[in-house]
Amino acid sequence: MAAAVKLENVWKTYRMGDETINALRGASLEIKKGEFFAIQGPSGSGKSTAMHIIGALDAPDRGSVYIQGRNVSTLSEDELAEMRGKTVGFIFQQFNLVPTLTAMENIMLPMIFQGKSEDEREKKAVELLGEVELLNRKGHRPSQLSGGQQQRVAIARALANDPEVILADEPTGNLDSGTGRKIFGMLKKLHDKGKTVVVITHDDRIAGEAETIAYIKDGTIIKIKKN
């Protein structure tokens, strides 16, 4: 099976004043197309940095990143932006919804950057709101929605451009356990539909549901396990 994402000996260093932090130290992993993959580790282990690298939100200092077979380092900024918009859907722990936009407008936003017409955007947003069972909240702003509802809008937004890869950074971290199970169930359904789902988590229960787990500690992938 072909790789959706591949990291080869990736290093990422941040400088904070006089201190140098090696967030990733020679990280290598391969995520197959259609795989449910978890990256698990404690706080500060490099999980979120790995997600930013996998999603081409950040570039490595050394090493290579391939998304759908394309070497990210060879792409221009415009090509990178286009690839992120079409290939990767992001779900963040903090939801990252635009507070002044309604649920429907938040979902439509990524489609604007891909040149979709207003009719296309509205039709797709309504379809996705139906899938996440929030059609009756389409005119509500984030402040009028519960945490679980905001995360469902965030999932719908991540699916707006029908990406092949879904990246979820601690998607249940700010939710109660019951709501978290529902959100996780939605991610499982996306995987069942053939999407590549990558979950960044510290939670054993969530990681245990994945097909493959990469354990990360101090910026290093210490073990890769098949469930």
Average pLDDT of 128-145? 94
Domain assignment of residue 110, yes or no: yes
**pLDDT tens digit sequence for 30-86:** 999 999 999 999 888 999 899 999 999 899 999 999 998 889 989 888 888 888 888
Domain assignment of residue 74, yes or no: no
The enclosing domain of 97 has a CATH number of: 3.40.50.300
pLDDT of 217 reads: 93
The dihedral through the CA atoms of 114, 115, 116, 121 has a sign that is: positive
Classified as helix, coil or strand, 43 is coil
Domain assignment of residue 154, yes or no: yes
* pLDDT, averaged across the chain: 91
Domain assignment of residue 54, yes or no: yes
Domain assignment of residue 13, yes or no: no
Number of structural domains, the chain? 1
Please state, as a whole number, how many other Cβ atoms lie within 10 Å of the Cβ of residue 225: 12
Report d(CA 117, CA 191) in Å as an integer: 28
Please state, as a whole number, how many other Cβ atoms lie within 10 Å of the Cβ of residue 46: 24
Least confident of 77-81, 116-120, 166-170: 77-81
Domain assignment of residue 12, yes or no: no
Domain extent, residue 152, equals 35-60+86-226
H-helix or E-strand spanning residue 192: helix 177-192
pTM for the full model?
Answer: 0.90
pLDDT of 184 reads: 86
Domain assignment of residue 108, yes or no: yes
Asked whether residue 1 carries a pLDDT value surpassing 70, the answer given is no
Domain assignment of residue 10, yes or no: no
